[in-house]
Structures are given as structure tokens and as C-alpha cells.
Amino acid sequence: MRVFKFGGASVNNVERISKLGDILKHYSEEKILIVISAMGKTTNALEKVVRSFYEGKKDEALKAFDLIREQHLTMAKQLLATQYPACEKRMKDFFTEAEWLLYDKPQREYDYYYDQVVCTGELLSTSIISFYLNEIGIANKWFDVRDVIRTDDNFRDANVDWEFTSSKVTDSIVPLFSEHNILLTQGFIGATDENESTTLGREGSDYTAAVFANMLNAESQTIWKDVESVMNADPKQFQDAQPISELNYNEVIEMAYYGAQVIHPKTIKPLQNKNIPLYVKCFLNAALPGTKIHNRPLHKLPPIIVLKENQIMIEMSSKDFSFVGEHHVADLYRLLGKIKIKPNLTQNTAISFIAVLDDRIEKIEKLALEVSEIFDVQVMKDLTLLTIRHYNKEIVEKLTKGKTILLRQETIETMQILMKQ
């Protein structure tokens, strides 16, 4: 049994969806659970619908929702013939489910509405693709993942109820495999015990796939992407980025921590716990080797580069030249926790504490305001934080050439440099 995940970019047009069909033809004898995201930028578009709705701009929200409806109906028409009426019928249920909320006035918290509306993206994409695959002879069974993945009501970042979900998987999903080779469902979404929809955090479909891989004891999980494999740097920032053929779970967790947008960080734990290998493959060319991620130590990794732009450095110095002691540091961390902002780098001297943070303006203002009671606060903006795992002298020189270095920290494995252009 394998688990496949296809992201939004792999299902954003007719050609790509038919590619998905081609890939599955190679696995016709296997049992596969397929997890799919919303098409293309649908999640962003649905987010806008919710924002308009919550700001009281009902017409704008309904208009934007209508556009999403039309796009999906058009996609279904392009892909389907005999199966179109059945698909349209199911899609209409999902449109109605979201719309009856949008016609009302917001009464509950924003995040609740977000989840009720945004989950539509995955429900629509999986419906269209499931009907399409059935129509071209790739028999599959679609299911609503909200009947299986039970979460708490922490809307927009819901936590999976592991016990309930895993007994659901055993009782209702495992038996489906005796009748079907391919099961197909939504990533990113779940439901509470009151049947309210929830979402697991942006890009959460990788995680959904890992939850299923774990609970079904899959032999592997594959994430099909529009890039050839995991790269040692973001190819949009570095033209000479290189593919990496092998990684281990720890390295991926570290990369995600420093800001590499490779795989949703929550994905790793469920796989690591059962030692299930994770493959990242290119759906545009399945013959490419991709990346294999496993649990074994690796000795020779290339330098892995993560560049975080838009950083700010906030320096907090004691007003009376007293040392920054443990109680100050503890207070500062408590405050960072309260504001929910993670420092990307910290350093302290006798009388000052430095934190490098993403420039999230409301959060930074709150932080600066609160600490200014005890400290003098200085903020520097528009900085870049460079992280290099497995660094060497040449690469550090190359990447810092001509830059002003404000702060530099290193361990044996990782170097972090805060720079100004």
C-alpha cells in the first residue's frame, strides 16, 4: 500500500490532470491512497472570499465565490463527458454548503468561517479528479476525508485526534481496499466531533498524506511536485540550485526550521515513527529519480542554502546598564510566545538581547511596545538571513560577497549570517 500526494500545482489544468492519470497507469496493480490539494491558487482565492465576507462585503464575497464555482464547473466540463452530471451534482452540494454561510452575517470567529469555506477547494478538486479517473478507466473510490480525519476545533490549525482517526481508518478505510485499488481523498481538511469542517494549516496536505501513511502502515509516501526533486536551494533565488537525491528526516526538519519551503514540517513525524520512506518526485517527468527521504544517517550532504528575506533585527538593551539576566531572557521568550512569533536567530551580550524575526508589522509593533518599558529598543529592517547547512569556506565567501554582515553564528553543521544588501 502506498500513499501519493498531489499538490495544487500538479492539478491546475487539464493537461496536468491527465498527467496524473498517466502516472497512475504505471501502478495499476497496486493499492494506493491518493491525497489531493485544491487546484492551483484556489485556496488563496477562497481566503479572499472569507475576508470579504467577514468585512461585511457580502456581494464581493459572493461574486468571488461565483468565480471559483465557474472555474471548477468549466474544468469539470473540459475533463468529463458521461460523468459530468454526477460530478456537477456533488459539486453543487459543496457550493451550497459554503454559500448558505456567506448569505448570513458573521456571528462566530473568523477562523471558523475560514475553515467552513476554504475546505471547499479540496472537496471540488478531488471530486473532479475522481470522476475523471473513473471516466478514463482508472477505477477509484472517492471519500470525504471529513468523515475520517477527526480534529479538535482549533480552526485553521486543527490538531488531529489520533486515536479516533486511526480507529476510523481501520474500520472504514482499510475494508475499502478489498474492493478498490485506488482510494482518493482531500488533503488539508478534517472535521470536529460536531461535524464542523477544519483545516490543518496552509500546505497541510503533505501532513494528511503522512497521517494516512502512518495509520495504514504504508510501504512509502510519494509527494508529486512540479520540481524535479528537493533542491539544495530555492531555484527561484539560486539558478545553480542542485537536486538532492537522498535526505533523512532530521535534515528535512532542520531545513524546514530554517525556512526552506520543501515539505510541511508536520509531515515527518508520522513517517519517522513508522520508518516509512518519503519520495519527492516530479509529476512532469516520473522517470527522474527525485529525492528519497529516510531514517538513516547520511554522511556527505552538499551545502544546503536557505535565504530568508524581509527580516528585522530587534536589539533590546537594558536602560541602566544592568546585565541582561535569565529573568529578562525568560520574560522576553514568554512575550514572544504570547505574540506567537518565532525568533529566527537570537544572541545576547552583557546588556543587550538581539532577536531576528520575520517582519510581521503588527507583531513587531506589539513586541517593541511591550519591551520598551524595560529596555531601549532599536529596530533594523530589510535584512536577509542566510542559513547554510554543511557549509564550507568557498560557499560562505561566495554568498556574502559585497554584503554587510551584521551578525554571524555557527555550529559544526550550520552557519547563519544576518546581512544587509
Residue ranges that bind Mg ion, judged by CB under 5 A: 7-8, 37
Q: Which of residues 50 and 332 has its CB atom nearest to ligand ASP in the complex? A: 50
Burial pattern 69-87, b for ≥16 Cβ within 10 A else e, equals: beebbebbeebbeebbeeb
202 near ligand ASP (CB under 6 A): yes
Q: Which of residues 165 and 205 has its CB atom nearest to ligand ASP in the complex? A: 205
* Least distance CB 304 / Mg ion (angstroms): 22
Q: Which of residues 7 and 190 has its CB atom nearest to Mg ion in the complex? A: 7
Q: What single DSSP character describes residue 396?
A: H
In Å, what is the CA distance from 17 to each residue of 81, 102, 140, 199, 313? 15, 30, 15, 24, 44
Binding mask 269-288 for ligand ASP (x = CB under 6 A): --------------------
Q: Which residue is nearest to ligand ASP (CB)?
A: 205
40 near ligand ASP (CB under 6 A): no
Residue 292 φ/ψ, nearest 5 degrees = -110, 130
Rounded Cα gap, residues 269 and 41, in angstroms: 27
Q: Which stretch binds ligand ASP (CB under 6 A): 36-44, 102-110, 267-275, 313-321?
A: 36-44
Which of ligand ASP, Mg ion, none sits in contact with 190, Cβ below 5 to 8 A by type? Answer: none
Locus of grid cell 518599558: 373
Q: Which of residues 7 and 290 has its CB atom nearest to ligand ASP in the complex? A: 7
190 near ligand ASP (CB under 6 A): no
11 near ligand ASP (CB under 6 A): no
198 near ligand ASP (CB under 6 A): no
> Of 6, 66, 58, whose CA–CA distance to 33 is shortest?
6
Rounded Cα gap, residues 37 and 118, in angstroms: 11
CB of 91 closer than 8 Å to CB of 76: yes
38 near ligand ASP (CB under 6 A): yes
Which of Mg ion, ligand ASP, none sits in contact with 192, Cβ below 5 to 8 A by type? Answer: none
Rounded Cα gap, residues 47 and 199, in angstroms: 12
* Least distance CB 419 / ligand ASP (angstroms): 30
Which of ligand ASP, Mg ion, none sits in contact with 48, Cβ below 5 to 8 A by type? Answer: none
Rounded Cα gap, residues 392 and 410, in angstroms: 11
CB of 243 closer than 8 Å to CB of 260: no
For residue 377, the surrounding DSSP H or E stretch is strand 375-389
Rounded Cα gap, residues 219 and 217, in angstroms: 7
Give the largest CA-CA distance in the chain: 78
Binding mask 285-314 for ligand ASP (x = CB under 6 A): ------------------------------
Q: Where are the alpha helices (DSSP H) in 55-190?
A: 58-79, 84-102, 110-118, 120-135, 162-168
Pick the binder of ligand ASP from 2, 4, 6, 8 (CB under 6 A): 8
* Least distance CB 206 / Mg ion (angstroms): 9
Locus of grid cell 481501520: 170
43 near ligand ASP (CB under 6 A): yes
* Least distance CB 187 / ligand ASP (angstroms): 5
* Least distance CB 111 / ligand ASP (angstroms): 15
Burial pattern 27-64, b for ≥16 Cβ within 10 A else e, equals: eeeebbbbbbbbbbebbebbbebbbbbbeeeeeebbeb
Binding mask 85-124 for ligand ASP (x = CB under 6 A): ------------------------------------x---
37 near ligand ASP (CB under 6 A): yes
Cβ neighbours of 210 (radius 10 Å):
29
Q: Which of residues 90 and 264 has its CB atom nearest to ligand ASP in the complex? A: 264
* Least distance CB 406 / ligand ASP (angstroms): 33
Q: Which of residues 40 and 303 has its CB atom nearest to ligand ASP in the complex? A: 40
* Least distance CB 8 / Mg ion (angstroms): 4
Residues that bind ligand ASP (CB under 6 A): 7-8, 37-38, 43, 121, 187-188, 202-205
